[in-house]
Amino acid sequence: MIQSFITGFFLGLSLIVAIGAQNTFVLRQGILGHHVFYIALFCALSDALLISVGVVGISFFFNNFINHNLNILFGLSAFWLASYGLIRLKSALKSNKTIAIEASNLKGLFQTISVAAVLTFLNPHVYLDTMVLIGSISQQFSGFQKITFTLGACLASFVFFFSLAYGARLLMPLMHKPFSWKILDSLVALIMFSIAFKLVLATNWL
């Protein structure tokens, strides 16, 4: 039970830490102090919803297909995670990236949430990461373990978004240091490789 929860948590956390448009927006709102709680809550709930739909949907609608093609499914998921890990490792070795936060003119809560919704639900990667990838990997667990895996993945979103939003002012000095990004990318790569290896073991290919 604990193992499935930890797997879900670190998988969810690893998939979400890459700074994209959504995370940059959350970071900016945290720095500016505009609707911080509501933005963090909206993004976390959106992730939790997509993760839950992915786990339940794949388990319910594709159960027979998955049971007959479990090795292929886990193999593809392992390949995707390993590829993502290689990208993060390459970034850690070669990248000198930093992040710049520009001032925002958004004032109203509805307008701000609307922007967050667009950045969240119009990003195709969010569906691949939450509904497809996490949903597929959840199939290695059953019963209560699948529930704890899902809870772990959902909790990762809450921990990440609230930490990012409320810790934005403290994180900004680190965001300007390429070495900090190298450490982050290295940790993400390590987690990805570990989960990918576990999935390969589950396929009985090794």
98 found inside a domain: no
pLDDT tens for 111-150 read: 889 888 988 888 777 887 888 888 888 888 888 999 999 9
Residue 104 has pLDDT above 70, yes or no: no
Between CA 37 and CA 45, with CA 43 as vertex, the angle to 5 degrees is: 95
Q: How confident is the model at residue 165 (pLDDT cuts 50, 70, 90)?
A: very high
Helix (H, G, I), strand (E, B) or coil at 143: coil
Structure confidence at residue 94 (pLDDT): 75
91 found inside a domain: no
Assess contact for 191 and 11: CB atoms under 8 A.
yes
15 found inside a domain: yes
Residue 34 has pLDDT above 80, yes or no: yes
Residue 53 has pLDDT above 80, yes or no: yes
| Angle of the 144-166 helix axis to the 2-16 helix axis, nearest 10 | 40
Phi then psi for residue 115, to 5 deg, are -65, -45
Residue 62 has pLDDT above 70, yes or no: no
- Count of domains observed in the chain: 1
154 found inside a domain: yes
191 found inside a domain: no
93 found inside a domain: no
Give the structural domain span for 53.
Answer: 2-78+108-169
Alpha-carbon gap, residue 57 to 181, rounded angstroms: 35
Assess contact for 47 and 135: CB atoms under 8 A.
no
Assess contact for 136 and 8: CB atoms under 8 A.
no
94 found inside a domain: no
148 found inside a domain: yes
Phi then psi for residue 106, to 5 deg, are -70, 130
Q: Mean pLDDT of all residues in the chain?
A: 80
Give this prediction's pTM.
Answer: 0.73
Instruction: Name every residue whose Cβ is closer than 8 Å to that of residue 129 and which is 6 or more positions away in sequence.
Output: 15, 16
